Amino acid sequence: MKKLRRVLVAIADVHRGHGSELRRAAALARATGAHIELFHAVTAPATRSRRIAKRRIDHELSPEESLSVAQKGLERIARSKLLHGCRVQAVAEWGKPAHEAIVHRAISTHADLIINGTRPRGRVGRLVLRHTDWELIRHSPVPLLLVKSAHRAGKAVVLAAIDPLHANAKPARLDRRILDAAGAMAATLKGTLHAFHSYMPLSISVAAGVGEPVVWDASELDASHLQHVVREFARALRTSAIPPSRRHLRMGDVAAELAACARQLHASMVVMGAVSRSGLERLLIGNAAQRVLDELKCDVLIVK
C-alpha cells in the first residue's frame, strides 16, 4: 500500500455528524502527515422551508444555491475539533451518481485512500452498506475504508483476511496486497497485525458438488486437505513477520468465522480483498461478500 499523502473522506450528508469517519481520517493524517479532503457529491437540488399563512412550504433551490449550502455544510464539518491540527480541505461538487463523483474526485486528486461511513438502519441500528458503498467497492481504484464502528480506545488490532487457496479465481498477488495494506495500517496506527483464513472440509465440498451419495474415506480426505491448507497458509505468510500466535486458521463458514475471530481479538479493522467481476459471476461473489461485510462490526479496508 502506498504511503498516505491524500485521504478523501466521502461525506454523504452535510447536515449530520460524521464523528467516526473524521476520527479515522485524523488518526491516519496525524501519523503520516496526509492531507484530508472532505468531499460531498451534490446529486439533487437542496430545499428550503418557509412559512406562509401558518403553512410550511418547501421550495427547491437553484443549482448554485444548492452547491453553496453543501459547501458551507462541509466547511462547518471541517472546523470540527476532531480534525484539529490536520490539513483539511472541503469540496462540494455536482455529480450523479454519487459513487462516480467520488471515484472521479479520488482519481483527479490522486487520493491514496477513500474513507466512507456506513449508516444504521432499523430499530436495532444495524450498520448496513448502501448502494453507494457497494459501487465504491466495485469501482474504487484505491483502497476503501468502510467505517462501521464507533471510536475505540486502546491499541489497534488489524486482521488481514487472506485466501491462500485462491477461491473464485482470486489472483495470488491479491493476498500480498492485503498483507501489505494491513501491515501498513498496523504500523501507522502502532498496532498489531494478525492473519486469518477459513476453510471448509473437503468432504463437505465434494458432497455438495456431486449431489448424490459417494463412497470415500471422509476422514482421510479431510486430513489430507487440512495439510494442504496449512501448507498454503504458511506459504502465503512466509515473507511476513506475523508470528504463529497471530495466525488464525479456522474451519467453517468464512463470514461467521471471520466475524467471530474479529470479535475475539477486539479487531479495530479487517483488511479484505475485492475482485472486479461482471454479470452473474459478480452477483454470486457479491452475495458472499455481503454476508461477510454484514457480519463484521469493525471497520473494513477493501483492497483491489
**pLDDT tens digits for 223-240?**
888 999 999 999 999 999
73 closest CA partner among 147, 7, 16: 16
Q: Is 128 helix (H, G, I), strand (E, B) or coil?
A: strand
Q: Cβ contacts of residue 98 below 8 Å, gap of 6+?
A: 10, 12, 41, 43, 132
What residue has cell string 498454503?
A: 232
Within a 10 A sphere around the Cβ of 292, how many other Cβ atoms? 20
Q: Are 119 and 128 in contact (CB under 8 A)?
A: yes
The predicted pLDDT at position 210 comes to 46
3-class DSSP state of 136: helix
pLDDT for residue 60: 85
Count of residues making up the chain: 304
- Residue ranges in the chain modelled with pLDDT below 50: 122-125, 207-208, 210, 215, 280-281, 283-285
Q: Are 57 and 50 in contact (CB under 8 A)?
A: yes
Q: Residue 200's pLDDT is what?
A: 86
Q: What is the pTM of this model?
A: 0.87
For the chain, state the CA radius of gyration: 22
Q: So what's the pLDDT on residue 280?
A: 45
3 state SS of 239: coil
* Inter-residue contact 160 to 179 (CB < 8 Å): yes
